[in-house]
């Protein structure tokens, strides 16, 4: 995560001087934080356990933006960012210490969410409108006439 030194040192105050000026922002120093990883819950993970950033992090030192840009590694391609299912399973079990049972529970939960999303996506819009109309009508009837039983 990258923060501007100004974001830390100065509280946010609305500027009255910006009328008629072009707004600009500049960063001079940044802090690079290293976050721990954890077993995730992102259903966009197509296979295997997702890995997410944890809330815990290591505080880094402040460096100038120019120095950071000069020293940082080149950006990785999408292919280089991809992690295979076996790699993710190995990381969550060996490096992060999750049990096989915990990993399987997360994977099962994600598959269930993916299935529900697919079913919702595949629903016929006309059927969905009819269902919403029926649910609304049932709700109105039960609110106004609790003695009427439907079904």
Quote the pLDDT of residue 151: 46
Domain total in the chain: 1
Q: Is residue 11 part of a domain?
A: yes
Quote the pLDDT of residue 137: 78
Give the tens place of pLDDT for each residue, 109-127. 999 999 988 888 777 666 6
How is 96-124 classified by DSSP, letter by letter?
A: S---HHHHHHHHHHHHHHHHHHHHHHHS-
Q: Is residue 124 part of a domain?
A: no
Q: Is residue 38 part of a domain?
A: yes
Quote the pLDDT of residue 12: 46
Q: Is residue 18 part of a domain?
A: yes
Residue 144's pLDDT band, with cuts at 50, 70 and 90, is: low
Give the tens place of pLDDT for each residue, 4-27. 444 444 444 455 555 567 788 888
Higher pLDDT, 42 or 5: 42
Q: Is residue 128 part of a domain?
A: no
Cα–Cα dist 151/31, whole Å: 63
Domain that includes residue 67, residue range: 5-119
pTM flag (> 0.75): no
Q: Is residue 30 part of a domain?
A: yes
Q: Is residue 137 part of a domain?
A: no
Q: Is residue 35 part of a domain?
A: yes
Give the tens place of pLDDT for each residue, 48-105. 999 999 999 998 889 999 999 999 999 999 999 999 999 999 999 999 999 999 999 9
């Amino acid at each position: 995560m990258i923060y501007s030194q100004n974001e830390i040192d100065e509280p946010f105050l609305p500027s009255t001087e910006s009328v008629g000026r072009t707004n600009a922002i500049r960063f001079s120093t940044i802090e690079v934080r290293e976050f721990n990883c954890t077993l995730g819950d992102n259903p966009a993970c197509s296979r295997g356990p997702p890995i997410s950033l944890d809330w815990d992090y290591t505080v880094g030192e402040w460096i100038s933006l120019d120095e950071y840009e000069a020293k940082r590694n080149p950006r990785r391609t999408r292919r280089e960012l991809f992690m295979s299912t076996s790699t993710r399973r190995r990381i969550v079990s060996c490096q992060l210490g999750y049990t096989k049972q915990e990993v399987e529970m997360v994977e099962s939960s994600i598959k269930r969410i993916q299935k529900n999303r697919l079913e919702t996506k595949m629903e016929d819009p006309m059927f969905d409108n009819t269902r919403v109309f029926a649910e609304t009508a049932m709700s109105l009837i039960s609110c106004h006439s609790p003695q009427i039983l439907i079904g």
